[in-house]
Each structure stands twice: as C-alpha cells, then as structure tokens.
C-alpha cells in the first residue's frame, strides 16, 4: 500500500508526531523529539532532520545553532503511524545539547540515575551559554 508522506501519520492533538533519531550504523538511539507536518516535509526535502520545539513553539533544524546536523539516511514509520524513526548520521558525533553523543546518557543502576557517557564538548563551547 502506497500512502502519501503526511496522510500515513497519526498526528497528535497538537499536530505532532514522535520522532526518534537513531545512529544509522550503531543503531544507538541518540534523541527523541517531535515533528509537525512542516518539519517532516523539510526533513524529506533537505535530507537533514528538522523538528518542532514544543517549548519554543517553533520549527528548527537540528544543528542550526551547534553545527551538529543530522543527515537522514532513512525514515521509518511504526505500525500505528504515531512514531517516526530516522536513521541518521550525526555530524560531529554530538546529538545532545549537553555535549554528549546521545541524550540517553543516564542509566538506572538500581538506586539512582548514573551518568554513563562523557561530555565530548562543553555546552558553553558549543552554544556560548547553557542551553535547554
């Protein structure tokens, strides 16, 4: 069954869909964000990940401030149509605004959330200020 890009998506009440960025080679999940229709269309049109910021109420291209853009190799839609996975190449190796490879840098060790990934580049060096 061939369905158009936007029609297959089950958008939430705010017109958003969950978008997961996963490294195209290692398959590590790097980040989770949201896309609106415009962000998804721009992602497809440019080949680079675009998202919708719920806190800033605006669309943004990943890496527009940091330079850490995400080159999209493949888009996948889940069976329910309510989540997109993008297999991406993370330019600069940093997906998280904290300067780490992945936003998923904490592991539950049975008692607490322990930091398991090192900071690759200081947030101040990336943005000139704390971000987020």
What pLDDT sits at residue 126? Answer: 84
24-32: long-range contacts (C-beta < 8 A, 24 or more apart)? 24/73, 24/74, 24/87, 24/88, 24/89, 25/89, 28/101, 28/102, 29/102, 29/104, 30/88, 30/90, 30/95, 30/96, 30/101, 30/102, 30/103, 30/104, 31/95, 31/96, 31/102, 31/103, 31/104, 32/103
> Domain 17-97 classified CATH 3.40.710.10?
no
Tell whether pTM > 0.85: yes
The structure tokens listed for 107 are 């592991």
Residue-wise pLDDT for 34-84, tens only, equals: 999 999 999 999 999 999 999 999 999 999 988 999 999 999 999 999 999
Residue-wise pLDDT for 88-113, tens only, equals: 999 999 999 999 999 999 999 999 99
- What is the pLDDT confidence band of residue 123, given thresholds at 50, 70 and 90? confident
Mean pLDDT of 21-28: 98
- What is the pLDDT confidence band of residue 31, given thresholds at 50, 70 and 90? very high
């Amino acid at each position: 069954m061939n369905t158009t890009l936007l029609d297959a998506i089950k958008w939430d009440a705010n017109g958003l869909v969950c978008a997961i960025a996963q490294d195209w080679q290692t398959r590590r999940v790097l980040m989770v964000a949201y896309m609106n229709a415009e962000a998804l269309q721009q992602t497809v049109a440019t080949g680079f990940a675009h998202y919708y910021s719920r806190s800033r109420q605006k669309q943004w291209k990943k890496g527009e401030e940091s330079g850490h853009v995400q080159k999209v190799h493949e888009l996948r839609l889940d069976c329910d149509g309510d989540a997109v996975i993008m297999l991406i190449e993370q330019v600069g190796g940093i997906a998280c605004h904290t300067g780490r490879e992945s936003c998923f840098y904490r592991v539950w060790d049975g008692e607490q959330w322990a930091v398991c990934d090192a900071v690759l580049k200081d947030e101040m060096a990336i943005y000139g200020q704390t971000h987020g």
